[in-house]
Amino acid sequence: MVTMPLVEKSTEQPRPSEPDPEVPAKAKHRSYSASYKIRVLNEYEGLSRADKGALLRREGLYSSLIDTWRKQRDHGALAAFTQKRGRPQADPRDREVARLRQDLARAESELDKARKVIEIQSKLSALLEGLAAESAEGDSERT
């Protein structure tokens, strides 16, 4: 009688795929809001040495960032970060001045065109008067 060996089922879990060795094309730059920086700084400064390390690991930060943020806070730079991002709101008077300047430029352009038209009309009128006078002289000589 031939016996077949029992095949034991493997209890090993499949290995997770190894990380991709390729470096990403562009590293992602992390940015932090002023409120986050202040919150982390206040929490960091109230902790013991071991707890400070735990905070840094939990937040994924380096101690150099804490030093930089502390210097920024001491120089008042974090107050500047609390301002809204993006372009500052334009002053309504500045917008009005810009609109009025555009209107003025448009009006000056139209005035320049009107002056040219008047100049051409006066030259045309003089030319027609001259032709009419020559025509009247020519008619009076024939009669």
Residues 66 and 101 in one domain: no
Residues 75 and 108 in one domain: no
The residue with greater pLDDT, 79 or 31, is: 31
Amino acid at 119: E
Check whether 2 has a pLDDT greater than 70: no
Question: In 10 A of CB 37, how many CB atoms?
Answer: 20
3-state SS assignment for residue 77: helix
Per the structure block, which two tokens stand in for 59?
């937040």
Q: Which domain range does residue 54 map to?
A: 32-83
| Count of structural domains, the chain | 2
Average pLDDT for 48-65:
90
Answer whether residue 25 is part of any domain. Answer: no
Q: Tell me which range, 6-10, 18-22, 70-74, is most confidently predicted by mean pLDDT.
A: 70-74
pLDDT tens for each residue of 67-98? 988 888 887 766 666 666 677 777 889 999 99
Per residue in 62-100, is it b (16+ CB within 10 Å) or e — as a string? eeebbeebeebbeeeebeeeeeeeeeeeeeeeeeeeeee
pLDDT of residue 12: 53
Residues 102 and 79 in one domain: no
Residues 74 and 102 in one domain: no
pLDDT tens for each residue of 91-132? 889 999 999 999 999 999 999 999 999 999 999 999 999 998
What's the whole-number average pLDDT of the chain?
82
* Residues 41 and 70 sit within 8 Å (Cβ to Cβ): yes
Answer whether residue 60 is part of any domain. Answer: yes
